[in-house]
Amino acid sequence: MKKKSSNEMWGGRFAEAPDDIMQAVNASIDFDKRLYREDIEGSLSHASMLGRQGIIKDSDAEAICKGLRQIAAEIENGEFEYSYALEDIHMNVEARLRDIVGPAAERLHTARSRNDQVATDFRLWVRNRIDRTSAKLEQLILALLDQAESGVDLVMPGFTHLQNAQPVTWGHHMMAYVEMFGRDLSRFRDARARMNESPLGAAALAGTSFPIDRECTSIALGFDKPMANSIDAVSDRDFALEFLAAASICGVHLSRLGEELVIWSSQQFGFISFSDKFATGSSIMPQKRNPDAAELVRAKSGRLNGSLTALLTVMKGLPLAYSKDMQEDKEQVFDSADTLELAIEAMSGMIGDLRPAPERMRSAAAAGYSTATDLADWLVKELSLSFRAAHRATGQLVKLAEDSGIELKDLPLADMKAVCPGIVEEARSVLTLERSVASRASYGGTSPVQVRAQIKLWRRKFK
Ligand code: ARG
Task: Give the pLDDT confidence of 125-170 residue by residue, as tens digits.
Answer: 999 999 999 999 999 999 999 999 999 999 999 999 999 999 999 9
Nearest CA, atom 10, ligand 1: 115
Residue 10 Cβ < 6 Å to ligand 1:
no
Inform me whether the pLDDT recorded for 404 exceeds 70: yes
How remote is the CA of residue 22 from the centroid of ligand 1, in Å? Answer: 15
**What digits encode the pLDDT tens for the residues 192-243?**
999 999 999 999 999 999 999 999 999 999 999 999 999 999 999 999 999 9
- Distance (Å, whole) CA 297 – CA 345: 10
Q: How large is the greatest C-alpha to C-alpha distance in the chain, in angstroms? A: 102
If one residue of 114, 235, 334 were mutated to test the ligand 1 pocket, choosing by the most ligand atoms within 8 A of its CB, it would be: 114
Pocket test for ligand 1, best of 13, 91, 115 (most atoms within 8 A of CB): 115
242 C-alpha to center of ligand 1: Å? 21
Which residues participate in catalysis according to the annotation? 161, 282
Q: Is the CB of 327 under 6 A from ligand 1?
A: yes
For atom 2 of ligand 1, the residue with the nearest CA is 327
Task: Tell me the average pLDDT of the chain.
Answer: 95
For residues 357 and 291, what is the distance between their CA atoms, to the nearest angstrom? 16
pLDDT in tens, 301-329: 999 999 999 999 999 999 999 999 999 99
Mean pLDDT for 64-72 is 98
Q: What is the pLDDT of residues 333-357, one digit of tens each?
A: 999 999 999 999 999 999 999 999 9
The reported pTM is 0.94
The string of pLDDT tens digits covering residues 419-428 is 999 999 999 9
Nearest protein CA to atom 3 of ligand 1, as residue: 327
